[in-house]
């Protein structure tokens, strides 16, 4: 079989044509090799951050790793050099069946990260992969391609997760997620937190507040040092989006948020954060629309997109941070977010304001229009936060948080209208950000409890990030009857299993994130029948 090759559109941070051509030759050439070659001894294992895969489609997937310096000395044999890394892919874990191999470059300018875009793969197949440099070898990862868009598929099983704050606990939920027999993971934002610490911290992150490129790189490396997270990345491909903490709390596009890490030049800081995000995620090089240099000039980093899972489901991955308008009606016109009485905020219903940005809104509307023709029974919108209204003022009046969809009411109404106008089949919205589990219905009008139900929503609790507790939750559910369930205490993830006739969702929670070893249980179960936008709790 012809070995797959790395067809990347990425250009390095250098401005010289020579370096660009040098990189392209190293990165894209499908060079075969023998594992008996290039066995130069290394002083340390550079694969301490593990491996990952992501951005899958029916013929391609991205394989990721990053070469790390020696943890003891902070130095490496390749500190300022671009390095050739060997890769292997096979149908079996022993790498004996249909083994393919080649080389890919790890650029010094990108923290020696690897983004190997394997193409010409068979659809709906599991593969095993690993990397090697000298005599050091990475752990073995497992990944898969998606079914062909026209293939009839019986089942899709995904987990959704978000909000893994280091100081609030251990990522042991991933130990249990690895036993869920998943096809993929949908990660919905806040992979890292930029904070220096927290009150009553279970453990403290190294490095204090994050703002420089090296700070962001170190914080990702810290999170990825968690063995539970590494093991889950090695289990199956991930589709990944971000929220605010990958840059700074509650930032909006090129406007700063409210956090202790804000520098003088926030757009430059955002560019550094975006670069570090790319370096540590299994993203396609096409995400860097104008290369690394473009980020510093405010260029788009395109992470939103769509994939089809056979004839069963469309999955839309959104980005609600990079293009949004600034939050409105904060006290003292402050940056970031806050609680707002919308009746006292003239800008609340401004029809020009957007959470996704005009281009992404238009893309999503067209995608919904196209979905009307493809007859897939499920349309899954994976995005950062909660979609439905959450009014925290009991009784008359309203009190809403302005950082999520509540703060962008016209944009939310346009999205709901798009779903209705295109008769979108069975919308299922998945979200994160809130640190709480919320389950309910997508309403035609978020402000009218008697309006039509047009879809369902599951918002996840987060892996570790703390929440307020359940003392007032019953009253808040009564105030927002489009939600049928909520929990503001337990941490974990959700699992959704799709078939042509229904979906089943389980909220999976651990007993205590403060412990490295945890037990898992099912907090609640729900079913949604195809063609009926109604969530039924079954356990």
Residue 43, pLDDT score:
79
The CA–CA distances, whole Å, from 462 to 242, 257, 438, 455, 532 equal 13, 21, 11, 22, 28
Backbone phi, psi, residue 536, to 5°: -115, 125
Quote the longest CA-to-CA distance of the chain. 74
352: left (phi over 0), alpha (psi -120 to 50) or beta: alpha
Q: Report residue 166: phi and psi, to 5°.
A: -60, -50
Q: Which residues share a beta bridge with 64?
A: 52, 115
What six digits make up the tokens of 382? 């994976």
Residue ranges covered by each domain of the chain? 1-145, 146-537
CA distance 365 to 359: 10
Q: Extract the tokens encoding 248.
A: 């700074």
Distance CA 185, CA 160 (A): 6
Cβ proximity of 347 and 329 under 8 Å: yes
For residue 184, what are the CA distances in angstroms to 22, 118, 229, 295? 35, 17, 14, 29
Give the span between the Cα atoms of 537 and 539, in whole angstroms.
6
Cα 385 from chain centre: 12
Name residue 525's beta-bridge partners: 506
What's the pLDDT at 488?
97
Going by their DSSP bridges, the two strands 502-510 and 184-188 should be labelled as: unpaired
What's the topology of domain 1-145? Immunoglobulin-like (2.60.40)
pLDDT at 7 (0 to 100): 31
| Helix (H), strand (E), coil (C) string for 25-51 | HHHHCCCCCCCCCCCCCCCCCCCCCCE
Phi, psi for 391 (deg, rounded to 5)? -90, 120
DSSP reduced 3-state for 539: coil
Does domain 146-537 fall under CATH 3.40.50.300? My reply is: no
Burial of 342 (0-12, 13-18, 19+ CB in 10 A): buried
Q: Which residue has the tokens 């000298």?
A: 134
Per the CB < 8 A criterion, the answer to whether 459 and 432 are in contact is yes
Distance CA(340)–CA(343), nearest Å, equals: 9
Same fold yes or no, 1-145 and 146-537: no
Q: What is the per-residue pLDDT for 27?
A: 44
- Which pLDDT score, from 0 to 100, does residue 40 have? 61
Pick from 487, 488, 485: nearest CA to 469: 488
- With tokens 């990108």, the residue in question is 110
- The series of mean pLDDT values per 10 residues for the chain, 539 residues long, is 33 34 38 42 89 98 95 70 94 97 94 96 98 95 98 98 98 98 98 95 95 97 98 98 98 93 92 98 96 92 98 98 96 89 94 98 98 95 98 94 97 98 98 98 96 98 96 96 98 98 98 98 98 97
Q: How many H-runs (helices) and E-runs (strands) does the chain carry?
A: 9, 24
């Amino acid at each position: 079989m012809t070995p797959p090759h790395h067809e990347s559109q990425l250009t390095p941070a250098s401005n010289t044509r020579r370096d660009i051509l040098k990189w392209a030759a190293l990165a894209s050439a499908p060079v075969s090799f023998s594992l008996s070659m290039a066995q130069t001894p290394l002083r340390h294992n550079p694969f301490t951050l593990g491996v990952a895969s992501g951005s899958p489609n029916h013929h391609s997937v991205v394989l990721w790793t990053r070469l790390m310096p020696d943890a003891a000395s902070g130095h490496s044999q390749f500190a300022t050099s671009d390095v050739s890394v060997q890769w292997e892919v096979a149908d079996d874990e022993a790498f004996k069946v249909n083994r393919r191999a080649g080389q890919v470059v790890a650029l010094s300018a990108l923290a020696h990260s690897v983004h190997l875009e394997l193409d010409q793969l068979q659809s709906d197949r599991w593969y095993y992969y690993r990397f090697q440099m000298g005599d050091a070898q990475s752990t073995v990862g497992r990944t898969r391609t998606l079914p062909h868009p026209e293939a009839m598929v019986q089942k899709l099983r995904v987990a959704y997760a978000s909000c893994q704050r280091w100081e609030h606990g251990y990522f042991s939920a991933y130990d249990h997620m690895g036993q869920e027999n998943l096809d993929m993971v949908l990660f919905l934002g806040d992979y890292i937190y930029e904070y220096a610490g927290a009150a009553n911290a279970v453990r403290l992150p190294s490095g204090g507040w994050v703002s420089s490129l090296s700070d962001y790189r170190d914080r990702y490396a810290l999170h990825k040092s968690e063995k539970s997270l590494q093991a889950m990345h090695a289990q199956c491909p991930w589709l990944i989006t971000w929220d605010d903490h990958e840059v700074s709390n509650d930032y909006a596009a090129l406007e700063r948020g409210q956090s202790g890490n804000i520098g003088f030049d926030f757009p430059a800081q955002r560019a550094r954060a975006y670069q570090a995000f790319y370096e540590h995620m299994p993203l396609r090089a096409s995400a860097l629309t104008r290369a690394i240099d473009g980020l510093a000039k405010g260029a788009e980093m395109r992470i939103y997109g769509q994939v089809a899972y056979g004839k069963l489901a469309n999955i839309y991955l959104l980005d609600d941070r990079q293009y949004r308008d600034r939050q409105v009606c904060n006290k003292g016109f402050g940056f970031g977010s806050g609680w707002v009485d919308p009746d006292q905020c003239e800008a609340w219903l401004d029809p020009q304001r957007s959470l996704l940005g005009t281009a992404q809104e238009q893309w999503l509307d067209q995608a919904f229009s196209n979905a009307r023709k493809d007859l897939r029974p499920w349309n899954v919108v994976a995005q950062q936060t909660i979609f439905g209204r959450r009014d925290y003022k009991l009784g008359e009046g309203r009190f809403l948080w302005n950082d999520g969809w509540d703060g962008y009411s016209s944009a939310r109404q346009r999205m709901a209208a798009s779903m209705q106008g295109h008769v979108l089949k069975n919308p299922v919205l998945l979200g994160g950000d809130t640190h709480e589990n919320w389950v309910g219905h997508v309403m035609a009008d978020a402000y009218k409890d008697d309006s039509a139900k047009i879809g369902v929503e599951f918002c996840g609790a987060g892996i570790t990030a703390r929440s307020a507790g359940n003392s007032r939750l019953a009253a808040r559910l009564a105030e927002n009857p489009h939600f049928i369930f909520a929990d503001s205490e337990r941490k974990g993830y959700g699992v959704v299993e799709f078939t042509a006739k229904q979906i089943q969702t389980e909220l999976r929670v651990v007993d205590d994130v403060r412990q490295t070893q945890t037990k898992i249980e099912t907090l609640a179960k729900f079913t949604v029948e195809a063609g009926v936008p109604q969530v039924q709790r079954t356990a």
